[in-house]
Amino acid sequence: MLLVYQIYFTITIFHNIKGDKQLYIIYTHSDFDLIIGSGAFPEAKVIASKQFDENPNKEECIQKIKQFDQGYYLHRSYSPVYPTVDIVVSEDGHKLELDSITMTFYQAPGHTNDGLFTVIEPYGLFLSGDYLSDIEFPFIFSNYKGYVNTINKAENILLNHQITTHIPGHGSTT
């Protein structure tokens, strides 16, 4: 019950802070724990990879969310949905300019086939999803070779952008 209240509380606070600004959500990949909150933000503009958008197993992702909620007796104030993608990233170096920031996206397959890296400039933020975590060892659900290529790509990102802060999906900010 606490968790339910907490989630509700967080979402309420969030909506107060957000005001009338446009909300963007970047999905780093389609593992169920990462899309579980998507139904709470129907007004958001969604950014994700082409593979995420074309995922043939969308219904399976929703089933995993339902199993998780049933297993922990969770009731949500919204229905879990697979995100509808507004901005589809299909190539490395895809840029999106929003006000004073530039986001650059890179495909990051290996952990899953629909992974996405994001660099946010001028702040030097690197969002790596489920790669480069200090608490989670590398899970390879998609493809080993792809995983190695993605790690090499991460190195190139660090060489080619002025990264100040690395933010993995799980674990510590570096």
Instruction: Write out the residues near Zn ion by the rule CB under 5 A.
Output: 31, 130
Please, are residues 37 and 44 in contact by the beta-carbon 8 Å criterion? Answer: no
Residues 6+ apart with CB under 8 A from 79: 39
Query: Shortest gap between Cβ of 29 and Zn ion (angstroms)?
Result: 6
Q: Which is nearer to Zn ion, 60 or 77 (CB)?
A: 60
Task: Write phi, then psi, for 101 (nearest 5 degrees).
Answer: -115, 150
Query: Shortest gap between Cβ of 31 and Zn ion (angstroms)?
Result: 4
Cis omega (within 30 of 0) for bond into 168:
no
Structure tokens at 156: 């190139």
Please, are residues 131 and 108 in contact by the beta-carbon 8 Å criterion? Answer: yes
Query: Shortest gap between Cβ of 115 and Zn ion (angstroms)?
Result: 8
Q: Which of 54, 112, 63, 115 minimizes the C-alpha distance to 83?
A: 54
Q: Which is nearer to Zn ion, 31 or 53 (CB)?
A: 31
Q: Which is nearer to Zn ion, 54 or 164 (CB)?
A: 54
Query: Shortest gap between Cβ of 100 and Zn ion (angstroms)?
Result: 31
Q: Which is nearer to Zn ion, 53 or 130 (CB)?
A: 130
